[in-house]
Structure 1
Amino acid sequence: MQKHHYLAAATLLGLAVAIGGCARDPQKRSVSELAVSGTKSMLRADADMQTVLNKLAGLDGKAIEKTAPPEARQQPTLADAVKGVLTDDKRSTDPQTLVPGVTTREVTIPGAAGNLPATVYTPAGSGPHPVVLYFHGGGWVIADRTVYDAGARGLAKQADAVVVSVDYRRAPEYKFPAAHDDALAAYKWLTTHAQSLQGDPQRLALAGESAGGNLAVATAIAARDAGLPAPRHILAVYPVAQADTHTASYEKYADAMPLNRPMMLWFVDQISRTPADVQDPRISLVKANLRGLAPVTLINAEIDPLRDDGAQLQQALVQAGVSVERKVYEGVTHEFFGAAAVVEKAQQAQAYAGQRLKADLTAR
């Protein structure tokens, strides 16, 4: 890591103790240590969410902020923990069993600098179906569409829509704005090729989780500015929406699982070339021109440093005259949305997201 680069990013994000909080500080606790540290965030988790967190801790992965990106991408995920809980309960881990009636196929989609792999989730019925372009999370650095399979698959079922989950270029191999450029390119392609996916090009939506939630909103803005057909709805699940890590939720859940402040600073360091990148309105969405966007649904977890990002984005959208609805789910953490197989609040959130998408996508 270039230490001066990290310190610049940390200063930008308002950390008064950047040196002491260095992402590679060997004194920082591991994921498993955080899980059993008795922090306020862990004590507030619902029993089913805590079971998943305990399973994640038992997988004994390294703290992301202590690793290089290739190693970080190999660490256990919340999706792995969900599979572990299912196995412990002697339940099937087969996605088609967990979410019946949704079929998948692999395709490639043109990105801004080459083809991108994507998974197409198709609900039952002959179509044409509405189409949701979905972006996975992982801080623009780790994870991919396979890690976030459960969220995309659940949306296909709940919204009765084709969901196209696309892998964008990740940092640090491809710095900002590579992921954002790929997201816009994928959406542009979809506006003219939805029919090839049994989809209706007149009924499109954007969705994503975490960094992908940021991409969903940023892509809607970019599509508007490029004169592309507008999506009918935007779903952003615990999106990154601003650059200050001293919000109330960042302070309260600074050491939460599976996302914490040191991880966010590490993500920032990987994705940005200069401190100015993090202030770009494509990342700091609250600074963007949000006028004229389609209706937005925001979903947040209470036990999440990004909880207040959602509140700030909601306020900015309201001030811009955009229709927006936001729900905060108590007792769950960042990444809960894809844990519907074992976490009740995730089931509720997926059903809510599906209802919100359906409301704007079903009308011809």
Structure 2
Amino acid sequence: MTMLSRRASLLLPFGLAALSACATDVSPMPPADPTGRADPEMRGLLEAFASLNPKPIETLTPAEARRQPSMADAVKARQRMLGLPTAPRAIPQVRDITIPGSAGPLQARIYVPQAAPARGEPLPRLPMIVYFHGGGFVIADLDVYDSSPRALAADTGAIVISVHYRQGPEHRFPAAHDDAYAAYIWALQNAAQLGGDLSRVAVVGESAGGNLAINVAMMAREARAPLPVAMGLIYPVAGTDMTTPSYRANAMAKPLNAAMMKWFFDNYGTGAPSEKTDPRLNVVGNAELRGLPKAIIVTAEIDPLNSEGKALGEKLRANGVQVVERDYMGVTHEFFGADPKVLSKAGDAQRFVAAELQAAFAAPAPAVVAPRRNARRPRA
């Protein structure tokens, strides 16, 4: 049933002509705030986020946006409200390093879930995860996304290499994609000296990082480089269609909304019309997905990216890729890295991804399968 403005309803007794005359005064109802569907723990975390007075990202410059409170800050605020410790999850070895990227050095952070061996003892051969953080290819860094790689290292027993990459608008598409692949190749080449097992390397990413993770696998397949044994795709950016059901339902969601996604694309993209169909960004629509390794997909109910994450799982499965996925109800984008004592579903998602990664590490390494000759290929 169409809702009428108050002025239009008052004119109804005067007939349709009067109503037609004031039609320009009838504006569409703005989409409702969907965070009312959040479960109690998620609602508490969102309230903690609101208490930090974040400004709408889409109204800021990239430099201003990078200084805004993040959901990581909100988790700490919520921990303080609940009387919980705010120290990060303890990992035996954490160190910052610099690695070569596609166009210069990149910051990276290594998490090793075992104590350093005594002098003279051989390094262990642990599985490895190359992890890419979120932030729409524009904001965030290794510190904002510190909790997720800690959880992955602790729950999988794998070495995690968290990689920062060039961001827009200073470095536009495909700079982040090129850096992500360069970081993956560096991890393969340096696995032995890191204590890692070259045959057991996975890629994991959140949001924009999820897009980078699947692109790394596609680029490795194209180059006939060793494939990752699995892809952890946590609410990934997988398409450029902003009219999906979840974009419409969650246009006003927090901490990610539709206006922010447009802002991210505008600041990372070059503005070329072809980018909307480029398979590296529009993975669901145009990427060749045959021959990719196991995909572990996590989606959140209150998230503009929910529909494309589910569509990605369907398309991967249709192309013969093993897919395991879990959709978490009552939570929003960015829930994955929260302290499980603050948000229990974060702990469940972390354990789900870790268990599936461990299963992939125990399975035979995936073979490289070349895409069909007439398929559209992601450009390197």
User: Quick check: 2:91–2:150 contact (8 Å CA) kept in 1?
Assistant: no
4+ runs deviating over 2 angstroms: 37-40, 99-103, 124-127
* Residue of structure 2 equivalent to 1:178: 175
Distance 1:69 1:196 in 2: 37
Distance 1:74 1:293 in 2: 37
Q: How does 1:61-80 map to 2 (within 5 A)?
A: 61-80=54-73
> 1:277 Cα shift?
1.7
Distance 2:57 2:107 in 1: 25
Distance 2:166 2:297 in 1: 24
Worse-matched range after superposition: 80-89 or 209-218? 80-89
User: Quick check: 1:224–1:230 contact (8 Å CA) kept in 2?
Assistant: yes
Q: How does 1:155-234 map to 2 (within 5 A)?
A: 155-234=152-231
TM-score of the superposed pair, with normalisation by structure 2:
0.83
Q: How does 1:106-121 map to 2 (within 5 A)?
A: 106-121=96-111
User: Quick check: 2:31–2:251 contact (8 Å CA) kept in 1?
Assistant: no
> 1:187 Cα shift?
0.6
- Please say if 1:100 is aligned against 2:90: yes
- Secondary structure at the aligned position of 1:106 is classed as strand
Distance 1:153 1:131 in 2: 13
Kindly provide the amino acid, as one letter, of the partner of residue 301 in structure 1. A
> 1:100 Cα shift?
3.3
2:84 pairs, out of 59, 81, 91, with: 91
* Residue of structure 1 equivalent to 2:283: 285
User: Quick check: 1:102–1:157 contact (8 Å CA) kept in 2?
Assistant: no
Distance 1:102 1:45 in 2: 35
- Secondary structure at the aligned position of 1:309 is classed as helix
- Secondary structure at the aligned position of 2:205 is classed as strand
> 1:312 Cα shift?
1.1
Distance 1:40 1:272 in 2: 28
- Please say if 1:336 is aligned against 2:326: no
Kindly provide the amino acid, as one letter, of the partner of residue 241 in structure 1. A
2:235 pairs, out of 225, 238, 241, with: 238
Give percent identity, aligned residues only. 46
> 1:40 Cα shift?
4.9
Distance 2:32 2:361 in 1: 42
Where does structure 1 lack aligned partners over 5 or more consecutive residues?
1-36
Worse-matched range after superposition: 274-283 or 106-115? 274-283
User: Quick check: 2:238–2:282 contact (8 Å CA) kept in 1?
Assistant: yes
> 1:133 Cα shift?
0.2
- Secondary structure at the aligned position of 2:222 is classed as helix
User: Quick check: 2:31–2:249 contact (8 Å CA) kept in 1?
Assistant: no
Please provide the CA RMSD for this pair: 1.5
Distance 2:127 2:203 in 1: 11
> 1:124 Cα shift?
2.3
Distance 1:281 1:363 in 2: 29
Distance 1:101 1:173 in 2: 33
Distance 1:288 1:159 in 2: 30
User: Quick check: 1:268–1:278 contact (8 Å CA) kept in 2?
Assistant: no
> 1:84 Cα shift?
0.6
User: Quick check: 1:297–1:325 contact (8 Å CA) kept in 2?
Assistant: yes
* Residue of structure 2 equivalent to 1:19: none
Kindly provide the amino acid, as one letter, of the partner of residue 229 in structure 2. R
User: Quick check: 1:55–1:84 contact (8 Å CA) kept in 2?
Assistant: yes
Kindly provide the amino acid, as one letter, of the partner of residue 175 in structure 1. R
Structure-2 change in CA distance of 1:310 and 1:102 (3 Å)? farther
* Residue of structure 2 equivalent to 1:23: none
* Residue of structure 1 equivalent to 2:315: 316
Distance 1:163 1:334 in 2: 22
Worse-matched range after superposition: 271-280 or 217-226? 271-280
> 1:329 Cα shift?
0.2
Kindly provide the amino acid, as one letter, of the partner of residue 54 in structure 2. G
- Secondary structure at the aligned position of 2:190 is classed as helix
* Residue of structure 2 equivalent to 1:122: 112
Superposed CA offset, 1:256-281 (max 9, x none): 00000000000110011112223211
* Residue of structure 2 equivalent to 1:10: none
Structure-2 change in CA distance of 1:178 and 1:157 (3 Å)? same
TM-score of the superposed pair, with normalisation by structure 1:
0.87
Structure-2 change in CA distance of 1:258 and 1:102 (3 Å)? farther
User: Quick check: 1:340–1:350 contact (8 Å CA) kept in 2?
Assistant: no
Structure-2 change in CA distance of 1:278 and 1:144 (3 Å)? farther
Superposed CA offset, 1:96-131 (max 9, x none): xxx234431111111000110100011126621100
- Please say if 1:53 is aligned against 2:43: no
* Residue of structure 2 equivalent to 1:139: 136
Kindly provide the amino acid, as one letter, of the partner of residue 298 in structure 1. I
User: Quick check: 2:129–2:202 contact (8 Å CA) kept in 1?
Assistant: yes
Distance 2:86 2:193 in 1: 30
- Secondary structure at the aligned position of 1:270 is classed as helix
Where does structure 2 lack aligned partners over 5 or more consecutive residues?
1-29, 118-123, 365-380
User: Quick check: 1:130–1:161 contact (8 Å CA) kept in 2?
Assistant: yes
Worse-matched range after superposition: 54-63 or 172-181? 54-63
> 1:39 Cα shift?
4.0
- Secondary structure at the aligned position of 2:99 is classed as strand
